[in-house]
Structure 1
Amino acid sequence: MSESMFVGLCEIVGTSQQVAIRREARDIEEMVDRRVTPNDGIIRIMSGSRREGFRLKGSDVDLMFWPNNHRVIMEMSQSEYYNTANTALILSYSSESPPGFTLLQLPTPRACRDVRSSCVRMNGRVYISSSIYRQLTFSAESHCSTIHGPCSNGYIAEQEYDNAHCFVSDFWPPSASSWIDRCHSWPDPEIVDDIVRNGCHFVAIGHPLGPHENEEWRISFSRAEYKLVYSMNHCQLLIYGVLKIFLKEVLNQQSEETNKLLCSYHMKTTVFWAIQKNTLLHWCPQNLLAGFWVCFKLLLKWVYKGICPNFFIPQNNMFLTKVHGSAQNRLFLQLNELYKKGLACLLQSPSIRSYIIDVLYNPRLFICTDESIIRSEVHYDVELVTQSKLCSLTCGDISQTTKAIHMIEQYVESPMTHHQVVMIQKLATSILQRTSFLLQNMNNDTGVNKQMYIADKLSCHMLKLAAKFGYVSDMLYIAMYYYKTLRYREALSFIEMTKVKLAQPYLMYNGHVDRVRYTEAVGGQSWSSKMRQAVAEDIMLINEICYINELIPEQHSALQNRQYILVIPVFVMLHFLQFLCYRHIDTALSQAALDELRALVHHDLGMDIHNLQRDISWEILGICQQITGNHQAALYSYQQSLTQYPLHQIRTATQRRIQDIVQSTQHQYIEDLPLD
């Protein structure tokens, strides 16, 4: 039965290889962000279950943000490690706070505006108020979000997110020093050293029972936690996955009184303690259910006692404010009823039930736990393409681009896994493309012919180099460049080559692929070969860089609303470029391209245009129709764009285009009036 559960959970959670691909993509994304973010910028990292490698349906996206030039120190002597001319230091002062919480003192007035505005004076010292800081950072975000604990919570389309604005420390907190001494069997010493060396974070929430709830900050071990999860074997990770599913589908469905008492963090904590205490001799597929039961019994014991010890600071009882009194008794009775049922309690989980029933009906069923059989080559290729999208440069600044190039040089010289090679290759492609258009933008304004000629040669070379080890769709960046530099026939030659490749029945795009034809066409080939022949992705335009003059209003509108990229479906961009180029060569072919674009936008059912990209797709159709003078059709397209989910924040541009059409129509009407 455990083996059946292992196979089922590999389908729900992913195999160890799929999880590794997700993690490596996030690690590279974070590394890029850290290297290219300026000293006065904001660092962003992903945390929570997605960072750990999960992709469970309905899970939210957890992000942490902190000012790069602010650091928390544990004692003033640590200030010697920083250049205080460009780094604001914050002192942790935890003597008056409950375990796991601290006050943050600002010893000098040097700090960013939000920090200075959050300061309060207590006992002659200046402290940063967590409640004020949380409110200030929340106010700067979307009006659609709400405060949830230390985070701002909201939705982008149907995806829930939690954004935590915090501070980082390069030092391990003294209150967690006992954790280092406790790590005899797990994790390994090198992982412990890495965790301690990377310090901790401080998130803006105080302890409800603390003496200074509005001023206190919670110590967050988010980075340490995902490194611990990384160090688990796959069976341990799947047990953690079972607990998360069991929490959502069973525990939190018992009653309204108890459905918010337990959370995923409690499940993670039980797994950490169970592994460290060696409660199971062998964490393997054959013992998966035994591992789940060990963790469930530990949780039951904690609920009975009303004590859930934080893994890093055990004195911090995470049940203290919620799991007590009548609610605790009710929760214990519910868990105890499930305990009495034994492993049969898992039958109450819709996601897990079938994997147990299959074995109950056929006890002699042989279950193979070989991951290479559970998942095919195509599954891994889809995962790799999906996760590699994260590995791109989304800034339009030449100095940041230069930093990213140096970072790739360093990375290439170090040992890399196969997945990392692919992701670095994808990152290099995006950097070459951004740099090409940056150079063109910069030198187009100089008017110096020789300089423009050299920059043009360099840009063309970089774009062609990117296409050599990029996706099929990367050839469209060459076409964009040629169109922008008025070389329409050259642009069309690359458009036609791309069109042929995009028409192949084995193309992988947007997670869709005919697995049989894909395997027949490119199965067993090198990843570089697959990328060039059979993989396409959407076209990403950085809004600080001009690629196509016709899209400048949309890019400006997006930037005004802090949206830094436009993501355009590859088939929409193909027809758009074809239309723009043929306008200068053959009006009949230009109209044919427009007809194809119109048919795509009007009739696509989500295969070639994702629902979240319909705003920009209708907009582009409207632009083409407006160029041809078909104002009525353009007006309809723009109005359709306004009705879509505003992912790209282009509404200002759309409204201006509508206004232009209305005004020009009125002007034309007045001109056509008879003089008498």
Structure 2
Amino acid sequence: MLKMAGMSIEKSESLNFYKYLCQQIGSEKVVRTRRLAFNIRDLGHNMITSGSKGEGLNLNGSDLDVMIIDSFFKVYRSETEVQSQLYPIPLIMNTEETQPCFTQLWMLNQNIIITPNLMHRGYMLSSELYKRLFLSVADMHIPAPWSGKIHGPCISDADDLIDFASCLKCDKWIFQAKPWVSRPRTTWPPFDIISKIVSSGVLLVPIGHKGSINENVEWRISFSVAEKYLIFSFSHTQLLCYAMLKILLRDIIEKHEDLKGLLCSYFLKTVMFWISEETDPYVWRPDNMILCFMACLQRLLYCVRYSILSHYFIPDNNLFFLRFKGTNKDKLISLLTNLCEQGINCFASSETLHDYQSRSSKITDSVISKSVGCLRQIIPTFYAYYFYSGSDRNLRMLYYFLHHSRTALSRVLFALQISEASMHIPEQTQYPTCLENKNHYFRYKHDLSHLMIGLHFDAVSGLLKLASFFYVQKNFIASLTVIKYTLHKYTDEKIYMYANSCNHAVRCNHMQKHVANLMKNEKLNTTMKSLIFQPIGSVWNLSLVPQELLLDVTNRRASFHPVSFSHFLSFLCYYHLHDITSCIQSLQRLKHVQRTLGDCEFDVRCNDFVNTVIFCGIGHQLLGEEYSARHAFKVAARLDRNNVTSAASRLSRLI
């Protein structure tokens, strides 16, 4: 139970701190929007967004965790439950020789041949071989500059910004966790949440118990779906306490090199689950904010001091068993003790929450309601990752939109997702030269209709895809008309969501904040269509891509700055219309954009700058100015350290 005796925290201070946290971490509405957006984005992909982002938090430094459910296998608790021995391939859990929370997966029918071979001794599915296969498949299918590596049960990109875990599913609640369902507790979690959790079964991820002689053939039992249900059932005060623990870990504890890796977010989540189960939900109120957090921090200290943190679903598994050594344990205890003594002043050295004292007197409800922070924190949800799955997924989203969308917010988010997905459908359309006219016309109308739906996602990029579509169809006048309208819409209050926005804070200038606040009462889709624009993203071999850029998009995903792409597309249209004067004017405008981008945050938007230089080089080349073209490609190739653009290839063709 939370111990409140002897603690006299003013309710007004807790309320002020709560309001401050809502600004810094996210209000209830912001969190609800993030969660809904990710849940909708997961539809039709057979995957689950987990981790902080999936839980509704968007903390600086948090990576994106995506669990992809492998439908090739299906896991059962025992042989008697197996319904089919063909497809999906049935696997039986064997926990007799494993530590709690781990299992081996045995193939029931050993006559089934799996290519490549993933089996150990012919009947146990190897977690190690499975991960290696997943990594090789990802390296083949995820376009450059992706460079994957194995990270625990996941594969990660080179910068550790995203973790993919291919996992297997058992539809039944496992025997080892059955006591959790009926064990004594207060009123949390409520019965309906317990029921949903049990009916969701469990996942199995490819990693064994460290130090086990069978580590490479063991699988960890993952309760990620259950944990997501539990986090979603938190009050906002509970969620903020959880977020504060994560911030404390990242901003303060892990600044000590010798303490890095001793604690992780999963341990903090487990602490939150135990203390929530033992506490009356009424305690978790905004006016108890500081008290609640201090109780969580003290529980963490207790767990470290006595090296005991029981797994929430399978308590036989002590997560802190042999976790700490003498020296680092003493240092961690000393640090946590000191943080407890400081109270909320422990965040004075935090990058995220350091300015509470200086801002506390200025925090009001009206400030929160007007803050552009809401928009800045919601937007990255839509750009966090992209897995295309065609028009079938659009139909599924439309079905859910019509039958399961119950709130105004969910309807808005569904509409945005459907609009965004519609923009990508024409990207898979090819127009063979031998295609008969009637069929060609049908595909043309099909793609045009989806592009028109896609115009509703943001202010600019949908229009530019439409302009590019007209260009590929050799309708240069229509393309120029759309481009001129697009450039007219590109004004200073627009907020640019560059390619890495999901992993960087979205910064707004004074005008952008002012306009966003003026639109605070507008619907989210209206705000995004009016204020947001994103790069022109392309996957490979697209019918929307000008012939001149096929070298840039073949076998990789490319993205171009909307303004530079607009001027480059204008140049191409005028070139094919034999209007050389307008060609030169478009090239000059393109060079002006190049200079502007060169003054921006180069590390974050480097690809925008490099691709704009390449555009200039292509322009010079088409005009017969080979010296200027060669110089542009040299500059771009020098800046393209990872060789992810066409610069080096284009340069070699000119030499």
Structure 1 contact 614–644 (Cα < 8 Å) conserved: no
Alignment of 1:354-365 (within 5 A): 354-356=355-357
Structure 2 CA distance for partners of 1:356 and 1:179, relative to 1, 3 Å: farther
What amino acid is the match of 2:632?
S
Would you say 1:658 and 2:651 are equivalent positions? yes
| Aligned equivalents of 1:431, 1:367: Cα separation in 2 | 39
Q: Among residues 591, 596, 600, which one is paired with 1:598 in the alignment?
A: 591
Q: Which residue number corresponds to residue 574 of structure 2?
A: 582
Q: Among residues 602, 618, 624, which one is paired with 2:613 in the alignment?
A: 618
CA-CA distance at 1:482 after TM superposition: 1.3
Identity of aligned residues (%): 25
Structure 2 CA distance for partners of 1:448 and 1:137, relative to 1, 3 Å: closer
Judge which range, 457-466 or 4-13, deviates more.
Answer: 457-466
CA-CA distance at 1:197 after TM superposition: 2.1
CA-CA distance at 1:10 after TM superposition: 2.1
CA-to-partner distance for each residue in 1:99-130, whole Å, 9 max, x for gaps? 1111111223547535x33x222xxx721233
Q: TM-score by structure 2 length?
A: 0.86
Q: Which residue number corresponds to residue 438 of structure 2?
A: 450
Q: Which residue number corresponds to residue 381 of structure 2?
A: 387
| Aligned equivalents of 1:357, 1:531: Cα separation in 2 | 32
What amino acid is the match of 2:540?
N
CA-CA distance at 1:282 after TM superposition: 1.7
Structure 1 contact 105–128 (Cα < 8 Å) conserved: yes
Alignment of 1:137-176 (within 5 A): 137-138=134-135, 146-156=149-159, 160-176=161-177
The answer for unaligned runs of 5 or more in structure 2 is 1-12, 140-145, 498-505
What amino acid is the match of 1:120?
H
Structure 2 CA distance for partners of 1:495 and 1:252, relative to 1, 3 Å: closer
Q: Which residue number corresponds to residue 489 of structure 1?
A: 477
Q: Which residue number corresponds to residue 669 of structure 1?
A: none
Q: Among residues 490, 515, 521, which one is paired with 1:518 in the alignment?
A: 515
Structure 2 CA distance for partners of 1:431 and 1:288, relative to 1, 3 Å: closer
Structure 2 CA distance for partners of 1:378 and 1:328, relative to 1, 3 Å: closer
CA-CA distance at 1:153 after TM superposition: 4.5
Report the 3-state secondary structure (helix = DSSP H, G, I; strand = E; otherwise coil) of the residue aligned with 2:266: helix
Structure 2 contact 397–414 (Cα < 8 Å) conserved: no
Structure 2 CA distance for partners of 1:433 and 1:89, relative to 1, 3 Å: same
| Aligned equivalents of 2:651, 2:196: Cα separation in 1 | 56
Structure 2 CA distance for partners of 1:103 and 1:447, relative to 1, 3 Å: closer
The answer for unaligned runs of 5 or more in structure 1 is 35-43, 360-364, 663-676
Structure 1 contact 5–355 (Cα < 8 Å) conserved: yes
Alignment of 1:76-115 (within 5 A): 76-80=79-83, 84-109=85-110, 110=112, 112-113=114-115
Structure 1 contact 507–518 (Cα < 8 Å) conserved: no
Q: Which residue number corresponds to residue 412 of structure 2?
A: 422
Q: Which residue number corresponds to residue 554 of structure 1?
A: 552
CA-CA distance at 1:27 after TM superposition: 0.9
Would you say 1:545 and 2:557 are equivalent positions? no
Structure 2 CA distance for partners of 1:376 and 1:102, relative to 1, 3 Å: same
CA-to-partner distance for each residue in 1:521-551, whole Å, 9 max, x for gaps? 7564455544554432222223242212222
**Considering only aligned residues, what root-mean-square deviation do their CA atoms show, in Å?**
3.1
Q: Which residue number corresponds to residue 8 of structure 2?
A: none
| Aligned equivalents of 1:146, 1:403: Cα separation in 2 | 29
Report the 3-state secondary structure (helix = DSSP H, G, I; strand = E; otherwise coil) of the residue aligned with 1:500: helix
Q: Which residue number corresponds to residue 633 of structure 1?
A: 628
| Aligned equivalents of 2:405, 2:82: Cα separation in 1 | 34
CA-CA distance at 1:480 after TM superposition: 1.2
Report the 3-state secondary structure (helix = DSSP H, G, I; strand = E; otherwise coil) of the residue aligned with 1:92: strand
Q: Which residue number corresponds to residue 233 of structure 2?
A: 231
What amino acid is the match of 1:323?
F
| Aligned equivalents of 1:4, 1:479: Cα separation in 2 | 50
CA-CA distance at 1:570 after TM superposition: 1.0
| Aligned equivalents of 2:561, 2:406: Cα separation in 1 | 31
Structure 2 contact 420–457 (Cα < 8 Å) conserved: no
| Aligned equivalents of 2:336, 2:516: Cα separation in 1 | 48
Structure 1 contact 310–317 (Cα < 8 Å) conserved: yes
How many correspondences in the alignment? 621
Q: Among residues 448, 451, 457, which one is paired with 1:460 in the alignment?
A: 448
| Aligned equivalents of 1:650, 1:45: Cα separation in 2 | 29
Q: TM-score by structure 1 length?
A: 0.83
| Aligned equivalents of 1:416, 1:152: Cα separation in 2 | 36
CA-to-partner distance for each residue in 1:115-170, whole Å, 9 max, x for gaps? x33x222xxx72123334334544666696554433344534xx633343432322
CA-CA distance at 1:346 after TM superposition: 4.4
CA-to-partner distance for each residue in 1:251-290, whole Å, 9 max, x for gaps? 334572x443222211111111111111674212211111
Q: Among residues 561, 571, 574, which one is paired with 2:563 in the alignment?
A: 571
Structure 2 contact 23–373 (Cα < 8 Å) conserved: no
Would you say 1:208 and 2:205 are equivalent positions? no
Q: Which residue number corresponds to residue 23 of structure 2?
A: 11
CA-to-partner distance for each residue in 1:452-493, whole Å, 9 max, x for gaps? 234334433443344367534312222112111111111111
Structure 2 CA distance for partners of 1:643 and 1:413, relative to 1, 3 Å: farther
CA-CA distance at 1:422 after TM superposition: 3.0
Tell me: higher relative CO, structure 1 or 2? Use CA pairs within 8 A at least 6 residues apart. Answer: 2
Alignment of 1:220-369 (within 5 A): 220-253=222-255, 256=258, 258-278=259-279, 281-323=282-324, 325=326, 327-341=328-342, 344-349=345-350, 351-356=352-357, 368=364
Report the 3-state secondary structure (helix = DSSP H, G, I; strand = E; otherwise coil) of the residue aligned with 2:66: strand
Structure 1 contact 151–163 (Cα < 8 Å) conserved: yes
Report the 3-state secondary structure (helix = DSSP H, G, I; strand = E; otherwise coil) of the residue aligned with 1:629: coil
CA-to-partner distance for each residue in 1:395-436, whole Å, 9 max, x for gaps? 4xxxx3234224313322322433433332233223433444
Q: Which residue number corresponds to residue 637 of structure 2?
A: 642
Structure 2 CA distance for partners of 1:21 and 1:657, relative to 1, 3 Å: same
Structure 2 CA distance for partners of 1:147 and 1:416, relative to 1, 3 Å: same
Structure 2 CA distance for partners of 1:643 and 1:272, relative to 1, 3 Å: farther
Q: Which residue number corresponds to residue 191 of structure 1?
A: 193
Structure 2 CA distance for partners of 1:474 and 1:314, relative to 1, 3 Å: same
Structure 2 CA distance for partners of 1:339 and 1:508, relative to 1, 3 Å: closer
| Aligned equivalents of 2:516, 2:308: Cα separation in 1 | 53
Judge which range, 403-412 or 130-139, deviates more.
Answer: 130-139
What amino acid is the match of 1:388?
F
CA-CA distance at 1:50 after TM superposition: 1.8
| Aligned equivalents of 1:337, 1:530: Cα separation in 2 | 45
| Aligned equivalents of 1:146, 1:79: Cα separation in 2 | 35
Q: Among residues 386, 395, 399, which one is paired with 1:409 in the alignment?
A: 399
| Aligned equivalents of 1:342, 1:380: Cα separation in 2 | 28
